[in-house]
Structure formats: C-alpha cells, structure tokens
C-alpha cells in the first residue's frame, strides 16, 4: 500500500491550510509543552517565521523515568490554546494505544516517535484513527522496516501517513544520531508518502540545525520538523538543540531563498 505505483504517484495530506507532500511543510515548536506562556509565545514566534504547523510534546518518551514526562492532558489543552491563537495545526506524540482515541480530540496530526516505530499495537490503533500520522523512523531501523510500519497504519485504513527521518544510531558520537539524508531519496523512490526530516533529534546540535534543514530541502524532502523554544536556556527537554525564535526566523529566510531557486 505504501509503494509508489508511478513517478507521479504522491500522497498529499491537507491539514489546516497546508498540503503536505505539495507545499513546503515546516513543523516547529518546543520539544515539550512546559506552560501555556512558553507554548503560546513559541507558537507566535514560529508562526511569524513562517512555520506551517506547531509541534510540542505532552507525553514525553524520556530515557530516564525520573526525567520530566510531560504535562499530559494539560499539555494537550495548552496546545489547543496555542493553535487557536496562531491558526497553526498541532502535531503531538502519542505513546500509548489506550490514549489514541482521546488524544485525537486535541491533535491535528498524531506523532509516533522513534522508540515506538515498531509498537505494532500502537500502529494499528493510529491506523484506525481519523487523524494523519507522522511516523518517525526507528533509530535502529532500516528503511524497509520503517516502510513496513507505515504499511501497518495504511492496512488499518488510515491513508494519511507522513514519514520522518530523524537520524539513526551509528558508531559516531559527535552528533546525537546520524542523519541519514539518503533516506529521503530512498523514500521518494519507493513510496508515495510525504517525507520530512527532523534535524533537531538527528544531530542534537544547534549549529547543525540550519545546514541540515537546508540539506533536507535540497535533497527533496517535503518538509522539516524542528525544535524551537522562546527561552532555549530554560528548556526542560532537549535544551542543546533548541533554536531561539530569532534563529528560527533567520533559518526560514535562508530556506525560502533556497526553495525559490529549486
């Protein structure tokens, strides 16, 4: 189902005003929803910069069980407020199959994170949901395994899947993960599903977000998802990779320039 049938075959997913797979998609926002002030301020900033969607985690898959786990329902309500203030649709992660149906009341796109890529009960559940799904590549997964996971969702009847390359684990330790940009071209060749890139989790390094975002668009990606915080130094999660709002705006100016000549 996720296989490309002809060179023109492409899935276009309309969310809010944007057509993912056709228009340039820029999903931006904090790693996690920390407060209404932080989320609304960041949402206004990324909207001004030209983002097309707001991201933010209410359920955080943290390495340590003692780290901040997210605000849950309160976080989802804050995301709705930020969406109302800016008009930006909301992309947010769902961790547990039992939460899918009610998280749909708050999310415009359901995100399945790298750690859950092969959580087949979660995939089946989001496959039965009436919201598009952003499926991140498993950090230990091949492109083929990733496409099979998209297949799980499509097979349940949900045709709106967006793939997201977010870096894979290699022997390299300089970056948080290794961004596999060639996965963009591989997906363009193999599948009709939109493909976006997450340079924030792929690199974990502030200095690399802009060059890897530009590289993603140059490689033919349909969009990017990036972490932005109104006060990066205070971020409760993924501080080292959070763009400030001015940095995001500068990056967007360069992205727009690049896309003009493509």
Residue among 200, 198, 202, 197 nearest 232 (CA): 200
Q: Does 136 bind ligand PEP (CB under 6 A)?
A: yes
Nearer to ligand PEP, 1 or 215 (CB): 215
Q: Which of 34, 201, 209, 251 is in the footprint of ligand PEP by CB under 6 A?
A: 201
Q: Which of 238, 242, 248, 252 is in the footprint of Mn ion by CB under 5 A?
A: 238
Q: Does 210 bind ligand PEP (CB under 6 A)?
A: no
Q: Which of 18, 83, 114, 158 is in the footprint of ligand PEP by CB under 6 A?
A: 114
Cβ proximity of 219 and 185 under 8 Å: yes
Cβ proximity of 206 and 243 under 8 Å: yes
Q: Within a 13 Å sphere around the CA of 234, how many CA atoms are in the beta-carbon half?
A: 10
The distance of closest approach from Cβ of residue 66 to Mn ion in the complex, given in angstroms and rounded to an integer, is: 17
Q: How far apart are CA 189 and CA 200, in angstroms?
A: 25
Stated as kind and residue range, the H or E segment containing 215 is helix 206-218
Residue positions counted in the chain: 262
Q: Does 41 bind Mn ion (CB under 5 A)?
A: no
Q: How far apart are CA 95 and CA 93, in angstroms?
A: 6
Nearer to ligand PEP, 57 or 132 (CB): 57
Which partner, ligand PEP, Mn ion, none, binds residue 61 by CB below 5 to 8 Å per kind?
Answer: ligand PEP
Which residues of the chain form contacts with Mn ion (CB under 5 A)?
Answer: 31, 238
Residue numbers of the site for ligand PEP (CB under 6 A)?
Answer: 31, 57, 61, 93, 113-114, 136, 166, 198, 201
């Amino acid at each position: 189902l996720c296989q490309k049938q002809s060179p023109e075959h492409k899935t276009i997913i309309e969310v809010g005003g944007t057509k993912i797979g056709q228009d340039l998609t820029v999903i931006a926002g904090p790693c996690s929803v920390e407060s209404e002030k932080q989320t609304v301020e960041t949402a206004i900033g990324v909207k001004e910069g030209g983002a097309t969607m707001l991201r933010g985690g209410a359920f955080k898959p943290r390495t340590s069980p003692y780290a901040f786990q997210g605000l849950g329902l309160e976080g989802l309500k804050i995301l709705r407020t930020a969406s109302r203030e800016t008009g930006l649709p909301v992309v947010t992660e769902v961790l547990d199959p039992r939460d899918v149906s009610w998280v749909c009341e708050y999310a415009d796109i359901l995100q399945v994170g790298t750690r859950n890529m092969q959580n087949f009960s979660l995939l089946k559940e989001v496959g039965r949901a009436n919201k598009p799904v952003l499926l991140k590549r498993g950090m230990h997964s091949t492109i083929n395994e990733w496409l099979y996971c998209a297949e799980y969702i499509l097979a349940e009847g949900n045709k709106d899947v967006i793939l997201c390359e977010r870096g894979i684990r290699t022997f390299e330790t300089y970056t948080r993960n290794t961004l596999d940009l060639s996965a963009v071209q591989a997906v363009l060749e193999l599948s009709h599903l939109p493909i976006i890139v997450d340079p924030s989790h792929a690199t974990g390094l502030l200095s690399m977000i802009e060059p890897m975002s530009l590289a993603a668009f140059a490689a033919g990606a349909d969009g990017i998802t990036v972490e932005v915080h109104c006060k990066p130094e205070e971020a409760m999660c993924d501080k080292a990779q959070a763009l400030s709002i001015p940095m995001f705006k500068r990056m967007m100016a360069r992205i727009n320039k690049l896309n003009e000549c493509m």
